[in-house]
Structure formats: structure tokens, C-alpha cells
């Protein structure tokens, strides 16, 4: 149990504490393979659970609308200094409450309502905030989409260039939430320049790899780069925006007073702690292990007979195409539910040329950042791929899944999360 929760909450609100404890047990006793999740350190959680939650600080360091901001000013300035150093950016805004709000502020800094945005199709691995009609980005702006090449299931930069020339967007957004390959930000930058558009890169999924120089850095090629801080970057839930001094001046006004009120200084402190961790040499070792684990898992899944979209991975995630697995009858929805019963947490995902609905799907997205944080290495990836195959082959047989669960828990017990 996290010791800092034990005293007051136990006395005052045992009901909520009991749910937190149940969640802690769920996290301890399961293999977390949702590609966008990770385990923040105890230090990150302590900063986030601190007295900073009590402070209003609308504005920016040394330019606040409230008194008593001398301590949060220092904290926010440290967060900015660390994150700009981490990614080699000139300036940063560390106040976005989430990746969605980071994207909204970035777009509003570069476009007017009604302008055009060209983003990656959600069903090909993009994100809701890249122009989806059910999201602000597709409602405030006129959205067009690029997708994956039909022959390679990869981004085809010539095709994207042609689409950009025809659509004439003000902003091209690059970045994905379910794409297992490197993204060529230089190519995106050149396409954007060619059509007179701004490039926004949403590097939320791969930020940790970028910080460790294991994925090309988008900073030199983009007008603005956005990210969340809780995925491969392993910090608290939240967002950031990076860019030139000039661009960030505009972004600052769009975040506050544009779309947010008081910044969450407790989260900003936790971001600063996480950026400090990411600047330390062992973060690179962690990210290298993420890549090794992802490759080992991909190979092992292929040996089990699974087809992987693009045939493998170059980052932290893998897209499994179930439509060709042993008759193709198992849906992403079934596989997710069955694996959940065995304490393996994954999410169903559409695959290229998907025939099923997004609520059912023919694919699974699996990731290794959280498993790697808890210390698992390539030999465990082989074991896990066998459990995934057994879980899917079980056809939902509760006895088989129960016996898998016992094996999963015994592996988890060897790799405790918070010691
Ligand atoms: N919801 C996140 C993901 O799972 O990829 C993206 O914001």
C-alpha cells in the first residue's frame, strides 16, 4: 500500500480507500499491456498528492493573477527548464491538463475556426483529436485524413504529399496512437512547407523513446510539438506543448485564458519530477529495454501464429491482426475480455481495412512500457506471448482462463511494482 495514503484516508474515507486498494491490487497482480499506460514512480505520485493542490496560480511564473505564488513559480520554471532540456526545445508550456487540451491550444495558436486540418485517420491508428467529427478538432476545423498504404500498412509520404496538395490544410498533424513503426517527421515537415501548412506533431505515445534518442525527434521539423506525460514518458497524467519562444508566447495565451483556468501545480510538480527522472541516464536504459521487449514480444507472437500489422514493431507497441488467426472468428472484443479474466490487460483495436465495428474490431493493441517498468525482460515476453495465445485459443473457457490467471499472478509476484 502506498504509505502516504494510509493515515488520514483510512480514518476519514475507508470506502474510497478500499477502492484505491483494490485498484492497487489489480495493478500489482496483472500484466498491464495497454500501450498508453505506465507506472509513475512513488516520487511522482508524492508530488502529485502534495499541498500544491491547494494553490491557485492563473497566469505564468512571475506573471500570476494571485499572490503567494513564489513556490509554484519556482516549480513551474523548473518543469519548463527540464522539459526543454529533455527534448531540445526552445520553450514549453507545461500547463495543459491533458493531451487533448495540448492539441486544442496548439491548433488554436496556428489556425482560426473553419480552417483546415489534415490528420491521420482514427481507424488507421490516428487519434480523436486529429480531426475526428465527434471531437472538437473535427467540429471547429474542417478535417481531412490520410491513412496507411494499402500495400504496406505503413505511412506513405508520397501519398500524404498528394493529399496535402489537394486539401491545402493550414495544419498537418503527425502522430498516432496505434502505429508500430517509426514516423518520418522530416518528411512531414517538408510536406507541410511545400503546401504552406504548419506541422503539429503529437508525440504522446513515443515521447519517452524520443527523450532517450531512440525515435527521431520532431522538434526541428514542427511548428509545435504536443505530448502527454504519462505514457512512455512515465510521468503523471497531463500534457505539454513545445516550440520556439515565439510560438509558445501564442500558446501561453491560448492555454490561459484561452481554454484553461488555474494550472494544476501539483501535477506540474509531478511532471517536473518525471522530467528529472527522464534526464537521468537509467531512463535511456529503460527505453532501450522497452524496444527490446517489444521486438521480443512481436517475434514470439508471430511464432504463436499471429499476424502483426506491418509484420513487427519499431516502437513500444504491436498491433495484432486476429482476422487471420486460426479461422479469424475471435474478435478484438472477445480477446480483450478473455485476457482480462487471465489478468492480462490489453485493448481491442481496429486493423487496416477493418470489417468489424470499432466496438468489436479484429485486432488487439499490446504495449510493453508498463511491463518493462516493473522489470520484465525478453524471456518473460516469450512466456507472455504463449499466455496470450492460450487465452485467445481458450474460446472463453473459464477453467482455462482461471489456470492462466494463477500463472500470471505468480509471475507478477516476482516483479513487485512499488517496493
Ligand atoms: N487514449 C490514448 C491511447 O490509449 O492511446 C490516447 O490518448
361 CA from centroid of ligand 1 (Å): 16
263 CA from centroid of ligand 1 (Å): 22
State residue 64's pLDDT score: 98
188 CA from centroid of ligand 1 (Å): 22
Same-fold call for 46-279 versus 284-413: no
For the chain, the domains span 46-279, 284-413
Instruction: Give residue 2's pLDDT band: very low, low, confident or very high (50, 70, 90).
Output: low
Mutate to test the pocket of ligand 1, among 34, 177, 319, 348 (most ligand atoms within 8 A of CB): 177
Q: Is the peptide bond before 32 cis (omega within 30 degrees of 0)?
A: no
Instruction: Give residue 132's pLDDT band: very low, low, confident or very high (50, 70, 90).
Output: very high
Cα–Cα distance measured from residue 45 to residue 338, given in angstroms and rounded to the nearest whole number: 31
State residue 147's pLDDT score: 94
Contacts of 347 (CB under 8 A, 6+ apart): 34, 35, 336, 364, 365
Contact of 262 with 58, CB cutoff 8 Å: yes
Give burial (CB, 10 Å; 0-12/13-18/19+) of 165: exposed
Which CATH number applies to 284-413: 3.90.380.10, 3.90.226.10, 3.90.1150.10, 3.40.1830.10? Answer: 3.90.1150.10
State residue 5's pLDDT score: 58
State residue 7's pLDDT score: 80
Nearest CA to ligand 1 atom 3: 36
φ, ψ dihedrals at 69, nearest 5°: -100, 10
Sign of the dihedral defined by the CA atoms of residues 283, 284, 287, 289, in that order: negative
State residue 370's pLDDT score: 98
Taking 80 as the threshold, does the pLDDT of residue 1 lie above it? no
Cα–Cα distance measured from residue 255 to residue 274, given in angstroms and rounded to the nearest whole number: 22
The three grid cell numbers given for residue 214, joined into one nine-digit string = 531512440
In the chain, the N- to C-terminal Cα span, in Å, equals 9
Taking 60 as the threshold, does the pLDDT of residue 176 lie above it? yes
Taking 60 as the threshold, does the pLDDT of residue 101 lie above it? yes
- The binding-site residues of ligand 1, defined as CB within 6 angstroms of any ligand atom, are 36, 99, 127, 177
pTM of the predicted protein model: 0.97
DSSP strand E in 78-126: where?
Answer: 91-93, 116-120
Contact of 349 with 325, CB cutoff 8 Å: no
CATH of domain 46-279: 3.40.640.10
State residue 419's pLDDT score: 73
State residue 359's pLDDT score: 95
Amino acid at each position: 500500500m502506498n504509505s502516504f495514503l494510509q493515515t488520514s484516508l483510512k480514518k476519514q474515507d475507508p470506502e474510497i480507500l478500499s477502492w484505491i486498494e483494490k485498484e492497487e491490487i489489480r495493478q500489482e497482480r496483472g500484466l498491464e499491456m495497454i500501450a498508453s499506460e505506465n507506472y509513475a514512480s512513488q516520487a511522482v505520485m508524492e508530488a502529485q498528492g502534495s499541498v500544491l493542490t491547494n494553490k491557485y496560480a492563473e497566469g505564468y511564473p512571475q506573471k500570476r493573477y494571485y499572490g503567494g505564488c513564489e513556490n509554484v513559480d519556482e516549480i513551474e520554471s523548473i518543469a519548463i527548464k527540464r522539459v526543454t532540456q529533455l527534448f531540445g526545445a526552445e520553450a514549453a508550456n507545461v500547463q495543459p491538463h491533458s493531451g487533448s487540451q495540448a492539441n486544442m491550444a496548439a491548433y488554436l495558436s496556428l489556425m482560426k475556426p473553419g480552417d483546415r486540418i489534415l490528420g491521420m485517420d482514427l481507424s488507421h491508428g490516428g487519434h480523436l483529436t486529429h480531426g475526428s467529427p465527434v471531437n472538437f478538432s473535427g467540429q471547429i476545423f474542417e478535417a481531412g485524413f490520410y491513412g496507411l498504404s494499402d500495400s504496406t500498412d505503413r505511412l506513405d509520404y508520397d501519398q500524404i504529399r498528394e493529399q496535402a496538395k489537394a486539401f491545402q490544410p493550414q495544419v498537418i498533424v503527425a502522430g498516432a496512437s496505434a502505429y508500430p513503426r517509426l514516423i518520418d517527421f522530416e518528411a512531414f515537415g517538408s510536406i507541410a512547407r511545400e503546401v504552406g501548412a504548419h506541422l503539429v506533431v503529437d508525440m504522446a505515445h513515443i515521447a519517452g523513446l524520443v527523450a532517450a534518442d531512440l525515435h527521431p525527434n520532431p522538434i526541428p521539423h514542427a511548428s509545435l510539438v504536443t505530448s502527454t506525460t504519462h505514457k512512455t514518458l512515465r510521468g503523471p497524467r497531463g500534457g505539454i506543448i513545445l516550440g520556439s519562444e515565439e510560438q509558445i508566447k501564442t500558446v501561453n495565451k491560448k492555454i490561459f485564458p484561452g481554454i484553461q483556468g488555474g494550472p494544476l501545480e501539483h501535477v506540474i510538480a509531478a511532471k517536473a519530477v518525471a522530467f528529472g527522472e527522464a534526464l537521468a541516464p537509467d531512463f535511456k536504459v529503460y527505453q532501450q529495454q522497452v524496444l527490446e521487449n517489444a521486438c521480443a514480444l512481436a517475434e514470439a507472437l508471430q511464432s504463436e501464429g499471429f499476424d502483426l500489422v506491418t509484420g513487427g514493431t519499431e516502437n513500444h507497441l504491436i498491433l495484432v491482426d486476429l482476422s487471420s488467426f486460426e479461422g479469424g472468428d475471435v474478435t478484438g472484443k472477445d480477446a480483450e475480455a478473455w485476457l482480462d479474466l487471465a489478468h492480462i490487460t490489453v485493448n481491442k483495436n481496429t486493423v487496416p481495412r477493418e470489417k468489424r465495428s470499432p466496438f468489436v474490431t479484429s485486432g488487439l493493441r499490446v504495449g510493453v512500457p508498463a511491463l518493462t517498468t516493473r522489470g520484465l525482460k525478453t524471456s518473460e515476453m516469450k512466456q507472455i506471448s504463449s499466455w496470450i495465445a492460450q487465452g485467445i485459443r481458450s474460446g472463453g473457457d473459464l477453467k482455462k482462463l482461471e489456470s492462466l490467471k494463477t500463472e500470471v499472478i505468480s509471475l507478477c509476484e516476482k516483479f513487485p511494482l512499488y517496493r
